Amino acid sequence: MRALIVDDSRFVRDYLRGLLEAKGIECEEATDGWAGLMQLQNDAPFDLALVDWNMPVMDGLSMLKKMRSEGFSDIKVMMVTTEAENEFITLSLDAGADEYLMKPFDNQALTEKLAMLGFAEA
C-alpha cells in the first residue's frame, strides 16, 4: 500500500509518515497541491492521498478537484486540515474526498479514518 502525504508543514508530513509507516504503509511526500499532482502523474500508483487544505501554489481542494477531473478516481483521498467548519467538509466531500480528518489529530483518530477507508483495523 502506498500513500501520498501532501502538506506544506514538514512537522505534519513527518508525523503522518511515522504513523503510516508504523502500519506498513509506504509513503511519499509533496509540499503543495501542484507538487502532489506531479507525484501522482509521475510516480508509481498510490492507494491513498492525505491532503491538507491550506497550502501555497495550489490548495488541497483545488488539488482534489483536479485529481478527480484527471481520472484519479481509484485513489482514496483523506483531507487532513484545520478547517473544521461544516462548509469545508461539505465542499471536500462534494469534490470527491472520501474522508475528512481535522487537525490536531492522534494515531487513534487517523486509524479510525483509515479503517473507514478499508486500510486499517480500528
- The parent domain of residue 101 ranges over 2-116
Question: In this structure, is residue 74 part of a structural domain?
Answer: yes
CATH number for the domain that contains residue 107: 3.40.50.2300
Rounded to two decimals, what is the model's pTM?
Answer: 0.94
The answer to whether the CB of 89 falls within 8 A of the CB of 80 is no
Q: Name the burial class of residue 84, with classes exposed (0-12), middle (13-18) and buried (19+) by CB atoms within 10 angstroms of its CB.
A: exposed
Q: Burial, 108: exposed, middle or buried (Cβ in 10 Å; 0-12, 13-18, 19+)? A: exposed
Average pLDDT, the chain: 94
SS3 50: strand
| Residue 78: inside a domain | yes
How many angstroms separate the CA atoms of 8 and 47, rounded? 21
Amino acid 43: pLDDT = 83
Render pLDDT for 79-97 as a digit per residue (tens, 0 to 9): 999 988 899 999 999 999 9
pLDDT tens per residue across span 19-69: 999 999 999 999 999 999 999 999 879 999 999 999 999 999 999 999 999
Is 121 inside any structural domain?
no
Number of compact structural domains in the chain:
1
Q: Is residue 122 part of a domain?
A: no
Is residue 33 in some structural domain? yes
Q: What is the pLDDT of residue 119?
A: 87
